[in-house]
């Protein structure tokens, strides 16, 4: 079994509205999203989003991906909060505690995280870790340039 982190350029406020709540908040006290709400996210992304890139890992590599890559060099480059938001972030009063999960980052947050960061500080692209890190950073740069927000679907 494998898991994929899909990175989309999309307006997060529209997604929050589609989910039936009054805006995009990140209140961690929300309720667990239902399978029907996850279907809404997936179908909405197919219509309103623009796929930017994706990264995949095996189920056996889940801890490596989440802890050692997202929680390691990506968190070091972007900040731990933003890195964590790539995997899951409450939206419209909903949490994503299980797979699949939804994350999101506003364009301004991406801009603040990437401004002044040197690409030379990224891991070697010829390693598995470096390839994932560079794919994610490149995707964030493309989303930032698009003027859209980032919405992720991880499952």
CA dist., res. 105 & res. 58, Å (int): 25
4 phi, psi to nearest 5 deg: -130, 135
Query: What is the reported pTM?
Result: 0.87
Dig out the tokens for 117 from the structure: 């960061």
Expressed as residue numbers, the domain containing 10 is 2-154
| pLDDT tens-digit readout, 105-147 | 999 999 998 887 656 566 666 666 667 888 898 999 999 999 9
Dig out the tokens for 97 from the structure: 């505690």
Using left for φ > 0, alpha for ψ between -120 and 50, and beta otherwise, residue 142 falls in: alpha
Strand intervals (E) in 98-145: 101-105
Question: Which CATH number does the domain housing residue 95 bear?
Answer: 3.40.1760
Dig out the tokens for 54 from the structure: 């994706």
Q: How many domains does the chain have?
A: 1
3-class DSSP assignment, residue 41: helix
Residue bearing tokens 């598995």 = 128
| pLDDT tens-digit readout, 77-105 | 888 999 999 999 999 889 888 889 999 99
């Amino acid at each position: 079994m494998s898991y994929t982190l899909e990175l989309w350029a999309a307006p997060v406020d529209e997604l929050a509205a589609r989910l039936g709540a009054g805006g995009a908040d990140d209140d961690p006290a929300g309720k667990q999203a239902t399978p029907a709400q996850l279907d809404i996210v997936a179908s909405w992304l197919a219509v309103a989003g623009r796929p930017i890139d994706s990264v995949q890992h095996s189920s056996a590599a889940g801890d490596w991906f989440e802890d050692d890559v997202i929680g390691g060099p990506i968190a070091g480059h972007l900040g731990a909060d933003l890195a964590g938001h790539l995997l899951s972030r409450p939206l419209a009063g909903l949490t994503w505690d299980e797979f699949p999960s939804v994350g999101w980052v506003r364009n301004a947050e991406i801009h603040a995280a990437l401004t002044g960061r040197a690409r030379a500080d990224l891991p070697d692209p010829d390693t598995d870790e470096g390839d994932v890190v560079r794919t994610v950073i490149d995707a964030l740069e493309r989303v930032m340039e698009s003027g859209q927000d980032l919405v992720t679907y991880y499952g």
